[in-house]
A and B are shown apart, each in its own frame.
Chain A
Amino acid sequence: MSQIQERGSTHVYKVNKISKEEMESMVTRCVYEEAPFCSAACPLKLDVRAMLKAAAAGDFKKALQLYEKAAPFPLIVSAGCEAPCEKKCRLSERGDGIAVREIEAAVSRCGKQSRLGSIFRTKKKKTAAILGSGLFPLFLAGELEKKAYPVTVFCEQENPEDFLRCAAGFLDDEAFRLELGRLKGKDIQFSFGCRIDAAFLEEKRQRFDMVCVSESILDALLPGSTVIPELMYCEEEKLIACRGEGVMAAAVGAKKAALTADRLAQNLDPRSMRGTEDPFESRLYTDLDEAKALTCIPKSGDRYTEAEAAEEAKRCIQCHCEECMKSCAYLEHYKKYPGLLAREIYNNTQIIMGDHQLNKPMNACTLCGQCTAVCPNGFDMARVCASARRNMVSTDKMPLAPHEFALMDMLFSNGDAFLSRLQPGKEQCRFVFFPGCQAAAVAPATVRAAYLDLCARLSGGVALMLGCCGAICDWAGRYEMQDTTRAFLLSELSKLGDPVIIAGCPTCRKELSELTGREVKGIWEILDEIGLPDGAKGMDRPAALHDACGARGDARTQETVRRLAEKLGVTLTETPYSGDRAPCCGYGGLTAYANPEVADEITQKALSRSDAPYVSYCMACRDRFARQGRESRHLLELVYGTDAGSPPDISEKRWNRLTLKNELLQELWLEEPKEMKLDYELNYTDEARKLMDGRMILTDDVIAVLDAFRENGEAIEDEDGLLVARHRVGNATFWVKFSMAGDNGYLVHRAWSHRMNVVKREG
């Protein structure tokens, strides 16, 4: 069998299979990082979700910190806020939205203030003067203090109480006292009893880097000046000012003004790089089925106590879109939302020198498309990973090791085990049965029975093609190999007279229909049309139907299979995530070869949906589930009354394919197959067989080693008297530890391999 070339030394940068723009358009579909609806609606950009989480946990200190980050004087803001967040709360669609404003008020009253922040902060060099009193100067002083600018407030009032009363005289006594304490606790300088006139303003302009004025001072000293509302900046006078009435206008104005001041302090254009300032519509998706408590916690008095506020905060469902991560064991394993993982995988493909640390995650995706089906925006991780793999291949950066076994297996399927024949006695055939490589490997007797049945009951003749559809090289990203495989299959189909393909596997059906551009039938459709053969029998217990990822988006196949199961008398139990939303069994995308641990997790997750036996219509699914110890049957096994039994190991899978081919050749086409007998006796201990399966060592590899040993006699003898021989096959060196059994036999005890080549060195 031919060998696959390991990647070479000169990395020729050939083609970029995915552009940055393409990646960006894919990544932006993921809404995981979108702001929740409440925060998106908040004009002050309060992280409502985080604040509620802290309050729900009883951490009012943290909740207050978060609130003060958005509003330096929270009780004043609470009094004037119209709570647009409450209207946008997703719970309001099913019941009461969270009473955010009431919780905020409780947090402001009960939360302990942290003063460490302002004491230990290094102040910035640029200074700011705020002239006047009222809500805007108060809020702006708080915002600039938060940004660590040395701030001095010049006002007519004689003390902080009067200054605060001028701004927020509407507060009740308790709130006033708390906010006064907050004002005094801030690192803001005051100059009371000022008479502010033009000369005063001019003097402050000379002394300070930034000068901000209240609306009344602006109108009194510079009547008719225009303030740019997006910036809160009077450009001709180089003054920061605000126009607008009410608490929220002042609070929002102060935020914008502080950002403008920040930009100006750094000699930057105040118009650019301002981020998202205004409220916006969030694209976040929330699964409301998780919402349980739909009614507000009642207040015992006229406002929430700390405990009541915490209870109300607990009702928040913490809107997050994790639909794909909930359903996919691969994303769950890497604990990254797909937008981030996709970006990292893309960056991985762009590394020219250095470690490609994302190779493993890139090769662990099953490319099954479940994420696209469950994502409200259709995020396509399969496309990201498949493009990334092709990109790595095209730039000669893709390691061969993770996929070599599977690729060699495909070459075997389309080489030694390949068979393509017209139905015996027919000059031409209307159909060709293409059962797929896994069906022949896992359940050869079922394939044989299905073919004989199709021959007997379909008119027009049924040819047979045993081989691989090319999905393996497609999944591995080996696009050149895929071209070769496709050309080979097209030529073989043409030799048969291009009959209608009857696929035994949904993935083959998809691949072959893309290849030929013609409709490819599934054997399930044929059986639905011609009826079940005699002896077809369902199961005596209810079973869970596992939809194949190859049939995703193929409603006809999914329906037909269910109808067949019904005809067979199988009682199907419904599972979550079925149909288009079904997970992969762990075989797809070659995950089982590149990352067996993740593949096992994927299989277990697929099995966790039901305790019942699983019925599937893809032989790879049947095999993966049986390997996990679950009773697992392929629909065709029920149709033809066959039982593939316990899952075969990797060598038996090859043996099954070869034996099926040879037996059919002998039985139907009366051809003598190639001699497969060894001229010596070869046996394995149970341990050796198990080791070989786990280490991807085939009996063929062991035979190659022993053949070499028989020829050159090279081996070493260890302390226990066992012999160890080795031989390099393709890109790996295989070692076999064995003992002689009789004159012409060997018993294999252990086997191992490595890809590195080892040679003797001189000097």
Chain B
Amino acid sequence: MAIEKNYYTIDPQGKLKCFKCGVPLEKGKAKFLYLDNGFPVELPVCPVCGFVYVPEELALGKVASVERALEDK
């Protein structure tokens, strides 16, 4: 059986809530797209409207460093 690969996982553990739908965010499937590259990840996602949350630490950390690496390709 194929094992699904995720580059990064964040579980919101019920701490975040969708403001519009009023439901807690869940660990859900998302992907980052940049310069023709795609990376499957698991991020806090609203199960109703599909809002994907990218926390500050992730944006400035892993995401920024991957961006730099891809930009210099």
Contacts and interface: CB of A to CB of B under 8 A. Distances in A.
Interface of A: 6-7, 9, 354-357, 359, 399-402, 712-719, 723-724, 726, 733, 735, 737, 750, 752-763
B53 A761 contact: no
B30 A761 contact: yes
A756 B17 contact: no
B51 A357 contact: no
B52 A759 contact: yes
B66 A756 contact: yes
Contacts of A716: 16-19, 25, 44, 46, 51, 53
A747 to B, nearest CB: 16
A718 B54 CA distance: 12
Q: Give the residue among B25, B63, B66 with the most A Cβ atoms within 10 A.
A: B63
B26 to A, nearest CB: 12
Q: Give the residue among A716, A717, A753 with the most B Cβ atoms within 10 A.
A: A716
B49 A719 contact: no
Contacts of A401: 67-68, 71
Interface in B10-58: 15-20, 25, 28-36, 40, 43-46, 49-54, 56
A763 to B, nearest CB: 7
Nearest to A723: B19
Nearest to B31: A761
Contacts of B67: 401, 754-756
Given A713-B20, A754-B67, A355 B32 contact: no
Top 9 A-B residue pairs of the complex, sorted by shortest distance between their CB atoms: A399-B71, A715-B19, A756-B34, A9-B36, A754-B59, A756-B32, A761-B29, A760-B50, A717-B17
Contacts of A402: 71
A42 to B, nearest CB: 44
B1 interface: no
A355 B45 CA distance: 33
A756 B63 contact: yes
Contacts of A400: 71
A690 to B, nearest CB: 14
Interface of B: 15-20, 25, 28-36, 40, 43-46, 49-54, 56, 59-60, 63-64, 66-69, 71-73
A715 to B, nearest CB: 4
A39 to B, nearest CB: 39
A444 B6 CA distance: 51
A763 B29 contact: yes
Nearest to A760: B50
A762 B29 contact: yes
A758 B32 contact: yes
Contacts of A719: 15-16
B67 to A, nearest CB: 5
A713 B63 contact: no
Contacts of B50: 760
A757 B56 contact: no
Contacts of B44: 716
B56 A760 contact: no
A755 B32 CA distance: 10
Q: Give the residue among A724, A762, A763 with the most B Cβ atoms within 10 A.
A: A724
B64 A754 contact: yes
A749 B29 CA distance: 28
A759 B59 contact: no
23 contacts: A9-B35, A356-B72, A356-B73, A401-B68, A712-B20, A714-B20, A714-B49, A714-B51, A715-B20, A716-B19, A716-B51, A718-B16, A733-B54, A754-B67, A756-B32, A756-B33, A756-B34, A757-B33, A758-B52, A758-B54, A760-B28, A760-B50, A761-B31
Contact of A399 (B19, B25, B53, B72): B72
Contacts of B32: 756-758
Nearest to B59: A754
B72 A355 contact: yes
Given A716-B16, A757-B32, 12 more contacts: A7-B35, A401-B68, A714-B19, A716-B44, A718-B16, A724-B53, A733-B54, A735-B56, A753-B59, A756-B32, A756-B34, A760-B50
A760 B71 contact: no
Contacts of A9: 35-36
A735 B54 contact: yes
Contact of B34 (A714, A717, A735, A757): A757
A253 B41 CA distance: 71
B71 A752 contact: no
Nearest to A6: B35
B33 A717 contact: no
Q: Give the residue among A354, A750, A756 with the most B Cβ atoms within 10 A.
A: A756
A716 B66 CA distance: 25
A758 B72 contact: no
B59 A735 contact: yes
B34 A759 contact: no
A758 B43 contact: yes
A401 B71 CA distance: 8
B11 to A, nearest CB: 14
Nearest to A691: B56
Contacts of B19: 713-717, 723
A677 to B, nearest CB: 26
Nearest to B67: A755
A392 to B, nearest CB: 10
A760 B29 contact: yes
A723 B53 CA distance: 12
B2 to A, nearest CB: 12
A557 B56 CA distance: 48
A353 to B, nearest CB: 8
A717 B43 contact: no
B10 to A, nearest CB: 12
Nearest to B44: A716
Nearest to A759: B31
Q: Give the residue among A6, A753, A758 with the most B Cβ atoms within 10 A.
A: A758
A760 B72 contact: no
Contacts of A735: 54, 56, 59
A688 to B, nearest CB: 12
A758 B60 contact: no
A760 B45 contact: yes
Nearest to B14: A719
A356 B53 CA distance: 31
Given A714-B51, A716-B53, A759-B31, A359 B59 contact: no
A123 B73 CA distance: 46
Nearest to B64: A754
A737 B56 CA distance: 10
